[in-house]
Chain A
């Protein structure tokens, strides 16, 4: 069973239980977006999946293998890449070094140069800044670097925590487009946590709506866009941070989304 399966996941911090039984499936070549208000547990879900937080109950399967209790380092080595909130690039290291460290788990397989070439093709802007310290990059470039770094490990599953945070609308569009390409061209299974609902709807095959640690709605973007509650809460007039990814967004959404049950 390829991709990522999350079954009945419960997790939290000390006495605070944040996740109350989450189920998510992401198949290869599928992009699932998770939306929800602040504090809904979206980031906690990703942290529990990638091993930064030990789940209390439930299971996480990566390509059929149980990784529920594995360490973050081991999970990274098994092919799950987590692009963290706030990007967390290594600021004093150069862009090139950040990429090299992204390939840390595969440092001995001899394909580093090849992956580096592919990644720079995907993010040409990084190639121009390859010798700069990552701390000197703009927010958008740092986000690209964080994604590029994650890709250097040659992952089969990628989870991203709010890649659009604090970025200019045009850059958000670029990043979302790249995510779609990764899914389509590299058959990556992508789990995207996003506050920017319009951006998420534009690219996602399926969307989960989380509220207080539970999945309260699930469906294709079209189905959810018709859902009164979702519209009111997340797509209403001025409530989203970016009205920029607007009309062209809907057109750019791949046709295959409708084929997904």
Chain B
């Protein structure tokens, strides 16, 4: 029993990181039909940058706080340079384009930081044992920060006028322009949000899951799978999909074989695509006219 609880709990922590990455996918896809395959790279970039800062003598907290806006700026800059100039964006084009961006970012990170995986020092706190489950303080940090950031992003998209304006761009791009909402602005902000959640995921996860130049690829795929559970448009389902995926992976790794861990995500993706390609949860009113 405590084995199960242990696996579930550490799965939740891992899943929270997936959930944040999934949120990044949806943050963009809910505004423009762009699948941003560079989403995982923001996490790798944030982790590696913070490690360099800490190694250079910057205390952990300022390092983390400085890296987040830096990654947001990188994400926005890439959007300005590579996404904004495309006049007729299609989902397929966006996949090819962002795969290229992802590859370029990975190459740059490999050149700067080398092939070695490293981790940030753990955030302050003590590990505890609760009901036979050993809980690392970093896992609590992951869950706490992911919950706050996730809730903030969901709230901003669902309850602020700006968030509604951005969703309007996805639902009715023509009508959005006619009421004066600039799709260019909305896309730029969406990429900023994606960079933000990606950076947070990379930073909180780094002490346990490490950061490396190629960390983003696997992480991005897991996040993408979690996001497809909500049809790439539901922020809430993306978050919970991440948690679910993390727990499933851990259970498979614990009870069957660690080697099958990475197969879980693809199995889930396959199932979603075969059974409900529109996402597990579908709002009837969201039908596009």
Picked from A52, A74, A90, the residue with its CB within 8 Å of the CB of B172 is A90
Cα–Cα, bound, A161→B225 (Å)? 41
Closest to B233 in A: A92
CB of B145, distance to nearest CB on chain A (Å): 29
Provided the pairs A72-B177, A76-B180 are in contact, do residues A135 and B287 lie with their beta carbons within 8 angstroms?
A: yes
Residues 92-124 of A at the B interface (beta carbon under 8 Å):
92-93, 97, 100-102, 104-105, 107
Picked from B171, B172, B181, the residue with its CB within 8 Å of the CB of A73 is B181
Asked if B286 is at the interface of the complex by the 8 Å CB criterion, the answer is yes
Asked if B182 is at the interface of the complex by the 8 Å CB criterion, the answer is yes
Sorting the interface of chain B by its residue count into under 10, 10 to 19, 20 to 34 or 35 or more gives 20 to 34
CB of A246, distance to nearest CB on chain B (Å): 31
Asked if B1 is at the interface of the complex by the 8 Å CB criterion, the answer is no
Number of interface residues, chain A, beta carbon within 8 A = 33
Cβ–Cβ contact A52 & B179, under 8 A: no
Question: 1/0 per position for B150-169, CB-CB distance to A under 8 A?
Answer: 00000000000100110110
Asked if A63 is at the interface of the complex by the 8 Å CB criterion, the answer is no
Most chain B C-beta atoms within 10 Å of own C-beta, residue among A81, A90, A105, A146: A90
Cβ–Cβ contact B285 & A133, under 8 A: yes
CB of B170, distance to nearest CB on chain A (Å): 9
Question: 1/0 per position for A78-91, CB-CB distance to B under 8 A?
Answer: 00011010101111
Residues 166-206 of B at the A interface (beta carbon under 8 Å):
167-168, 171-172, 174-182
Residues 38-97 of A at the B interface (beta carbon under 8 Å):
50-52, 71-74, 76-77, 81-82, 84, 86, 88-93, 97
Asked if A19 is at the interface of the complex by the 8 Å CB criterion, the answer is no
Cβ–Cβ contact A84 & B174, under 8 A: yes
Residues 126-170 of B at the A interface (beta carbon under 8 Å):
161, 164-165, 167-168
Picked from B167, B178, B286, the residue with its CB within 8 Å of the CB of A82 is B178
CB of B264, distance to nearest CB on chain A (Å): 31
Residues of chain B within 8 A (CB-CB) of A71 are 177, 182
Residues of chain A within 8 A (CB-CB) of B287 are 91, 135
Cβ–Cβ contact B288 & A91, under 8 A: yes
Chain B interface (Cβ < 8 Å from any Cβ of A): 161, 164-165, 167-168, 171-172, 174-182, 283-289
Ranked nearest first, the 5 interchain pairs of A and B with the lowest CB-CB distance are: A76-B180, A105-B180, A88-B175, A135-B285, A133-B285
Chain A interface (Cβ < 8 Å from any Cβ of B): 50-52, 71-74, 76-77, 81-82, 84, 86, 88-93, 97, 100-102, 104-105, 107, 133, 135-136, 146, 149-150, 153
6 contacting pairs across A/B (C-beta < 8 A): A52-B177, A82-B178, A91-B287, A92-B167, A101-B168, A150-B178
